[in-house]
Amino acid sequence: MSGNTFGALFRITTWGESHGRAVGVVVDGCPAGLALAAEDIQKDLDRRRPGQSKASTQRKEEDRVEILSGVFEGRTTGTPISLAVWNRDANSSAYDALRDRPRPGHADYAYQMKYAIRDHRGGGRASARETVGRVAAGAIARKLLAQEGIDIAGYVAELGGIAAEVIPSGMDELRERVESNPVRCPDIVAAQKMLELLDQVRSEGDSLGGLVVLSATGVPAGLGEPVFDKLDADLAKALMSLGAVKAVEIGAGFESARLRGSSMNDPLVLEGGKVKFESNNAGGILGGISTGAAIVCRIAVKPTPSIAKPQKTLDLKSGEAAEIEIRGRHDPAIPPRIVPVAEAMMALVLADHLLRNRAARVDGKISCR
């Protein structure tokens, strides 16, 4: 299987299966001298960890990370950083009946057709558990970005048709509100309605989808390669590489198709000797290069495909019609737990382009600001 590596200079390769011995990641290209401890990574893994609330799967995993290489005396050495998280609470018996019966909405059938063999236990490599490695690597990328004053935060903007209306403008307040409730919605009133709907849907054996918004502030102007490796193109690829994501918007996104140029264009102004934009329909990116404005992305996350309702499928061995009711432990909605994963993917893209940009100019500066 190819396609397990992401990035140009800051490169990651994730490995492992949902019900295998462990999952993890190898990070190659992280500069030497970055202060790094397991606790730095664990903070983000704890945000992603299952079993923390009724809004997530009840699979109980500690998700304790082990740094196997690449760090010496608390600092990165410039060599590959290998991180491992051991699986402790896998229950493969719940999947035995699904060995020859692909689950609707999952990658089961596509994997079988491509490889003629697949790990059916929990979805194997196609499981959302693969994202443990992404989050662990993203935590390292975030430390690198923090040295340049770059900050990233995400939140659930809509769940099951219930939309957040109150969104704090400050990143610290946004994070505080997001982490104050299980659905990671900054609008406390909307969050309560989302939880009530989740209870109802879970009791019906069904699931919900939603929208997640990501913002990156402090990004200097000048990041991005302006032809095939545009910053927004790489962000779109990174976010679309998440299994449950079905659409990505940058800035005004699909709404830009309904605007006139006079409304879409973001006027430039000078404030305190610095270039600013009066609006941010571009989402902080023009010509595939960051402008210095906040980078704003929105992703559409589909409903969890593993549901308890009866679903039609085929038995691939007999070729006969079949019906399945999926057992096991699954998220009733993916958006709350995808927030730290999506943040990690944004961090990986920005860290990669930050390093690439240092080679873009003779003077080695990140940007002209």
pTM: 0.93
Residue 312: its H or E element: strand 311-314
Mean pLDDT of the chain: 93
**Mind listing the pLDDT tens digit for each residue in 319-329?**
999 998 887 66
Q: Measure CA of the first residue to CA of the last residue in the chain; give whole Å.
A: 43
Read off the tokens for 312: 């039609």
310-334 mean pLDDT: 89
**Mind listing the pLDDT tens digit for each residue in 184-222?**
999 999 999 999 999 999 999 999 999 999 999 999 999
Dist CA 3 CA 116 (whole Å): 18
248-258 mean pLDDT: 98
CA Rg value for the chain: 21
Range list of β-strands (E), 143-280: 151-159, 162-163, 210-217, 245-250, 268-271, 274-277
**Mind listing the pLDDT tens digit for each residue in 102-129?**
999 999 999 999 999 888 887 888 989 9
Instruction: Provide the residue ranges of all domains of the chain, joining segments of one domain with +.
Output: 5-357
DSSP string, 129-168: GGHHHHHHHHHHHHHHHHTTT-EEEEEEEEETTEE-----
Handedness of CA 284, 302, 128, 336 (dihedral sign): positive
Of the options 3.10.20.30, 3.40.50.300, 3.40.50.360, 3.60.150.10, the CATH number for the domain spanning 5-357: 3.60.150.10
Number of Cβ within 10 Å of residue 339's Cβ equals 26
State the amino acid at position 343 in one-letter form: E
Tokens 């038995």 map to which residue? 315
Q: Classify residue 67 as exposed, middle or buried by CB count within 10 Å of its CB (0-12, 13-18, 19+).
A: middle
**Mind listing the pLDDT tens digit for each residue in 126-142?**
989 999 999 999 999 99
**What pLDDT shows up at residue 326?**
84
